[in-house]
Structure 1
Amino acid sequence: MIRPATRGGIRPVGHVGAMAPYALADPVEKGTVSLAQNESAFAPSPLAIEAARKAATDLLPYPDPDWTELRDVIAGVHHLDPKAILCGAGSMELIASLVRAYAGRHEEVLGSEYGYLFMASACAQVGARYVTAPETGYRVCADALLDAVTSRTRMVFVCNPGNPTGTLIANSEMVRLRNGLRDDILLIVDQAYGEFADGAEDGFEIMQLAQGSATVVTRTFSKAYALAGARVGWGMFPKPVLLEARKTLNPNNISQISQAAAAAAMGDQAHMKSVVARTAAIRDRFSARCRKMGFAVPDSHTNFVLIPFAHADAAARADRMLRENGLLLRGMRGYGLAHCLRATIAEAPVMDRVASVLERISDET
Structure 2
Amino acid sequence: MIRAVPHVAAMAPYALADLGGAGTVSLVQNESAFPPSPAALAAGRAVLEQMPLYPDPEWPDLRAAAAQVQGLDPAKILCGAGSMELISCLIRAFSGPGDHVLGTDYGYAFAASAAAQVKAGYVKARERELTVSVDDILTAVTPETRIVFVCNPGNPTGTLIPNSEILRLREGLPENVLLVADQAYAEFADADNDPGDTFALAERGDTVVLRTLSKAYGLAGARAGWGYFPTAIAGEVRKLLNPNNISIPSQAMAAAAMRDQAHMRDVVAKTAVLRDGFADGCRALGLEVPQSHTNFVLIRFASASQAQAADRALRAENLLMRGMGGYGLGDCLRATICSRDVMDHALDVLKGVLA
Q: TM-score range, shorter-chain basis?
A: over 0.9
Residue in 2 that maps onto 1:235 = 227
From 188, 192, 198, the counterpart of 2:184: 192
> Deviation above 3 Å: which 4+ runs of structure 1?
none
**Structure 2 contact 182–210 (Cα < 8 Å) conserved:** yes
> Match of 1:343, SS?
strand
> Match of 1:297, SS?
coil
How many angstroms does 1:28 deviate by?
Answer: 2.7
Match of 2:323, as an amino acid?
G
How many angstroms does 1:168 deviate by?
Answer: 0.1
How many angstroms does 1:31 deviate by?
Answer: 1.6
The answer to whether structure 1 residue 337 and structure 2 residue 332 are counterparts is no
Residue in 1 that maps onto 2:304 = 312
> Match of 2:66, SS?
helix
The answer to whether structure 1 residue 179 and structure 2 residue 179 are counterparts is no
**Structure 2 contact 98–121 (Cα < 8 Å) conserved:** yes
Residue in 1 that maps onto 2:350 = 358
Report the Cα distance in structure 2 between the residues aligned to 1:31 and 1:281, rounded to whole angstroms: 26
The TM-score, its normalising length taken from structure 2, stands at: 0.99
**CA deviation vs aligned residue, 1:181-236 (integer Å, no higher than 9, x gap):** 00000000000000000011111111111112400000000000000000000000
Residue in 2 that maps onto 1:4 = none
Residue in 2 that maps onto 1:84 = 76
Match of 2:100, as an amino acid?
E
**CA deviation vs aligned residue, 1:231-275 (integer Å, no higher than 9, x gap):** 000000011100001111111111111000000000100000011
> Match of 2:131, SS?
coil
Report the Cα distance in structure 1 between the residues aligned to 2:293 and 2:212, rounded to whole angstroms: 15
Residue in 2 that maps onto 1:40 = 32
Report the Cα distance in structure 2 between the residues aligned to 1:274 and 1:267, rounded to whole angstroms: 14
Report the Cα distance in structure 1 between the residues aligned to 2:245 and 2:50, rounded to whole angstroms: 17
Residue in 2 that maps onto 1:286 = 278
The answer to whether structure 1 residue 208 and structure 2 residue 210 are counterparts is no
From 124, 128, 138, the counterpart of 1:146: 138
Residue in 1 that maps onto 2:317 = 325
How many angstroms does 1:24 deviate by?
Answer: 1.5
Report the Cα distance in structure 2 between the residues aligned to 1:64 and 1:81, rounded to whole angstroms: 19
The TM-score, its normalising length taken from structure 1, stands at: 0.96
> Match of 1:275, SS?
helix
Report the Cα distance in structure 2 between the residues aligned to 1:86 and 1:203, rounded to whole angstroms: 17
The answer to whether structure 1 residue 99 and structure 2 residue 91 are counterparts is yes
How many angstroms does 1:360 deviate by?
Answer: 1.2
Residue in 2 that maps onto 1:132 = 124
> Match of 2:127, SS?
coil
CA RMSD of aligned residues (A): 0.7
The answer to whether structure 1 residue 50 and structure 2 residue 5 are counterparts is no
Report the Cα distance in structure 2 between the residues aligned to 1:242 and 1:262, rounded to whole angstroms: 21
Report the Cα distance in structure 2 between the residues aligned to 1:296 and 1:189, rounded to whole angstroms: 27
Report the Cα distance in structure 2 between the residues aligned to 1:246 and 1:337, rounded to whole angstroms: 36
Question: Alignment identity in percent?
Answer: 59
How many angstroms does 1:27 deviate by?
Answer: 2.6
From 248, 254, 260, the counterpart of 2:252: 260
The answer to whether structure 1 residue 156 and structure 2 residue 148 are counterparts is yes
How many angstroms does 1:128 deviate by?
Answer: 0.6
The answer to whether structure 1 residue 170 and structure 2 residue 162 are counterparts is yes
> Match of 2:50, SS?
coil
